[in-house]
Amino acid sequence: MIPLSVPNISGEELENVKNCIETGWISSAGSYVDEFEEKFSEYLGVQGSVSAVNGTAALHLSLKILGVRKNDLVIMPNVTFVASANAISYIGANPILIDINEHDWQMDIPLLEDFLSDECQKNKDGDLIHLKSSRRISALMIVHVQGNMCNMDKLLNICNKYNLPVLEDAAEALGSSFKDNYAGTMGHIGCFSFNGNKIISTGGGGMIVSRNPDFIKKAKHLSTTAKVNSLTYYHDEIGYNYRLVNVLAAIGVAQLEKLEIFKEKKIQIASRYRKNLRGIGDIGFQKIKSDVISNEWLFTITTKSMQELLSYLNNNGVMSRPFWIPMNELPMYSECLYVSSNNISSHIHQRALSIPCSTGISDCQIGEVIEKIKLFFNS
């Protein structure tokens, strides 16, 4: 079976992990944690980075840092991995789900703009209020779906106008950029994931980044149980045990070295698929705007025969997976406010499937995937 998207462990990972074990530095303190955070900040050009146990924990902490409180509303796209919405729920807040654009599958910006101007208003304290529910909207979480990005200039202008802090869920978009600005660095705070299927992986892990040193300080504090100093057990608020351990950061340091090579490889894979699958049956692709460089994290195509092609590929040695079920179709988020005119989320979900694109995939395997898809449409 040609796997969908698996880790590529081919460098110094083993050496680094061995070093942790030989020196006994396997837990939450250790030089690899500092090195991983420093090199991550250097790569993205941000003020600071704080590692976390996973991307979901990074999102949870970031919402707290932006001041999201219980009963608040947080705007997010309707199409994403469920962790984005779950992080909002952990605070006791609720998502407002905005439909996606049919071309790039990112949050529909004109729809967002209409919703904010028609259904929300700033109160005398400067808080943005959703008029129908009288609830405060305290942040916007933009998700860079599949490593692609929306027009961030437009989004940030709108959020600025409405005083909305922006959290970038860049879990899938490490290395992607909009007008030379890396995903995760343009909003107030950004989050990444190093889950097994991501462009670089530590097995499990996450990162919070920001240009605001206060946010970085707060992220460090909250992720280490809000301990005030290392000598006493005085904690000044309810904190979390969310730090990444040294042995996983050791893998992260080695993975980060290869990020640019992995990104190049993902871009090559996507361009070969686009070239060879264009015009086959009714296959369509996610559009990437000219201002965006996508890391092409997970190559996904659309077809009306999605279910049949999915079964065919999985039964013929090519791992394939459907796209996420939109948030408004999941039981715990079905009551959330869903802003949409044409329910594009559902349209894309019914047609999209992802195909193998691991950074370790061989040319021969890519050729095999293409041939199987052609065979499906020709038979």
The site for ligand PLP (CB under 6 A) is made up of 54-56, 80-81, 83-84, 143, 169, 171-172, 193, 195, 206
Q: Which residue has the tokens 């705070």?
A: 189
Q: How far is the CB of 58 from ligand PLP (least distance, A)?
A: 8
Q: Which is nearer to ligand PLP, 106 or 372 (CB)?
A: 106
The region that residue 173 occupies, defined by phi over 0 for left and psi between -120 and 50 for alpha, beta otherwise, is alpha
CB atoms within 10 A of CB 229: 7
Helix or strand or coil: residue 148?
coil
Which amino acid type is present at position 3? P
Rg, C-alpha atoms of the chain:
21
Q: Which is nearer to ligand PLP, 206 or 373 (CB)?
A: 206
Q: Are 352 and 324 in contact (CB under 8 A)?
A: no
Tell me the C-alpha distance between 259 and 295, whole Å: 10
CB atoms within 10 A of CB 241: 10
Q: How far is the CB of 60 from ligand PLP (least distance, A)?
A: 10
Q: How far is the CB of 376 from ligand PLP (least distance, A)?
A: 27
Q: Which is nearer to ligand PLP, 40 or 81 (CB)?
A: 81
Could you tell me where the DSSP H helices lie in 187-338? 213-223, 246-257, 259-277, 306-315
Q: Which is nearer to ligand PLP, 59 or 370 (CB)?
A: 59
Q: Which is nearer to ligand PLP, 193 or 358 (CB)?
A: 193
Q: Are 181 and 30 in contact (CB under 8 A)?
A: no
Q: How far is the CB of 84 from ligand PLP (least distance, A)?
A: 5
DSSP code of 323? P
Tell me the C-alpha distance between 161 and 69, whole Å: 21
The residues near 369 (Cβ < 8 Å, ≥ 6 apart) are 2, 273, 313, 318, 355, 356
Q: How far is the CB of 276 from ligand PLP (least distance, A)?
A: 27
Tell me the C-alpha distance between 63 and 240, whole Å: 14
Q: How far is the CB of 21 from ligand PLP (least distance, A)?
A: 24
Q: Which is nearer to ligand PLP, 37 or 169 (CB)?
A: 169
Q: Is the dihedral of CA 72, 76, 78, 84 positive or negative?
A: negative
Q: Which residue is nearest to ligand PLP (CB)?
A: 55
Q: Which is nearer to ligand PLP, 191 or 301 (CB)?
A: 191
Q: Which is nearer to ligand PLP, 108 or 169 (CB)?
A: 169
Tell me the C-alpha distance between 312 and 376, whole Å: 7
Q: How far is the CB of 137 from ligand PLP (least distance, A)?
A: 20
Q: How far is the CB of 132 from ligand PLP (least distance, A)?
A: 28
Q: Which is nearer to ligand PLP, 19 or 89 (CB)?
A: 89
Q: How far is the CB of 233 from ligand PLP (least distance, A)?
A: 29
Q: Are 201 and 171 in contact (CB under 8 A)?
A: no
